[in-house]
Homo-oligomer: A and B are copies of this chain.
Amino acid sequence: MSPFMVMDIVAEAAKYDDAIHFEIGQPDLPPPPGVKRALADAVQRGGFSYTDSMGIAPLREKIAEHYRRSYALEIETRRILLTPGSSIAFMVAYQLTTEAGYSIAMGDPSYPCYRNFAYMVDCEALQIPLGVENGYCIEASALEEYDADVVHISSPSNPTGTLYPPEKLRSLCVECERRGISLISDELYHGLVYEGRAHSALEYFDDALVINGFSKYFCMPGLRLGWIIVPEKLCRAAEIIAQNLYISAPTPSQYAALEAFDYEYLDSVREVYAKRRDYLLQRLSKLFDISVSPMGAFYIWCDTSRYSDDSRSFAKELLENIHIAVTPGVDFGENGTKTHLRFSFTGDIEDMREGMDRLEEYLARR
C-alpha cells in the first residue's frame, strides 16, 4: 500500500505560519446552519446509542428525497446504507462485488484509496490511463481492452475535476450491465459542479453501486458520514457487511445530517467554490499547461513538466522555498503523475492570491 504523500506535505506545511494551503481536500466552509443546531440537540438528548446498522430511517428517507429532487430517481430506502465516512462505503462496495483475485478497473490518475482498497481486498487494480484522448473518462470501449470484474469511476473526479458527460456515463453503464461487470460510481463531489449537470450512474444502471457522503458538498468532513446505494439484490448482504464491519455510523452525525439538505445554503457554498475555481484557474493557466479544466470538485490538475519531471521533489521545493503546499501528482497513480501537481481551491481568494503571487515570482526567477 502506498502512503498519501500529501500527508507528509500537510505535516511539513504545519511548521510554517505563513504557509498557503493548496494541498487540502476538505471544505473550509461551515455546514448548513441547521446541522450545528441538530447536532447540539442530539447531544442534549443524549444520542449515545448505536443506531440500526443501515442508519436511522428519517435520514435514509431524506437521502431518497435528495435523489428524487436531484436526479428524478426513485430509490427505495432499503437500498440506502449510512456508513462512517465515504471511505468505509468503498470497503462495503468492494466486499459486495469482489473476491480475491478479481480485477478492478479504475482511472489513472484517480483517488489513491481506490488502489489501496483493491490491495486490501486482494484484488488487482487495473489502472486505465486517463487523458485528453478519452476526456479523462473510462470509456465503454476500454472494457474490450481491459478484462475487468468491477469498474470504479468517479465523477466529478479527484484530481482532475472531470464530470462524465451523460452520453459517456450512459455508454459505460450499458456496457457494464451487458457484460455483467459491477459498476461502482463515486459521486462524492456531486453538488460541487460548475459546468454542466451531474448525472448519477443510477440514472442509467439500476444495479450500479453509488457512493456519496456529507464530507464535501455538505461541508461536514469531521462528522464522518457517508452513504452507499446498493442494488436491490445486494441489500441483505450489504446489511450483514455493515453489521460486521462498523455496527452503525456515528449517531449524533446522523441526526445532524437531517438538516444538511438546505439547498439555499448549499447553493451559496457552490457559488463560493465557483468563484475560487475561476480565480485559481485563471492564475494557474498563466504558469502551467492545464489540459482539463475542472467542471466539478475543488481541484485543478496542472501539468508542471516545464519546471520539473519529479512532482514529489517539486512540491517539496515549493513548500520549502515559498511555503506553498500542493499535492504531488504521484499520489494519484503513475500516468503522467510525475509531471503534475494538484492544486485545491479550498482556501479563500485572498490567501490564494498571496500564494499565486509568490509562485509566479518564484517560477519567474527559477
Seen from chain A, the residues whose Cβ lies within 8 Å of a Cβ on chain B are 1-4, 7, 26, 30-31, 36, 39-40, 43-44, 46-51, 53, 84-85, 87-88, 91, 95, 99-100, 112-113, 116-117, 120-122, 219-224, 236-237, 239-241, 243-253
Contact = CB atoms under 8 A, between A and B. Distances in A.
Contact of A248 (B95, B113, B224): B224
Contact of A220 (B4, B48, B91, B122): B48
Given A1-B241, A40-B43, A44-B40, A50 B222 contact: yes
In this complex, the member of A87, A244, A246, A248 whose beta carbon has the largest number of chain B beta carbons within 10 angstroms is: A244
B26 A222 contact: no
Given A223-B252, A250-B84, A46 B30 contact: yes
Q: So how many copies of this chain end up in the complex?
A: 2
Contacts of A120: 95, 121, 241, 244-245
Contact of A244 (B43, B50, B87): B87
B43 A39 contact: yes
A53 to B, nearest CB: 7
Given A48-B30, A88-B84, A222 B244 contact: no
Query: Closest 5 CB pairs between A and B?
Result: A222-B251, A116-B244, A84-B84, A100-B122, A224-B250
B100 A223 contact: no
14 contacts: A1-B237, A2-B240, A3-B236, A4-B243, A4-B244, A26-B49, A31-B48, A40-B40, A48-B219, A48-B222, A49-B221, A85-B247, A224-B246, A224-B249
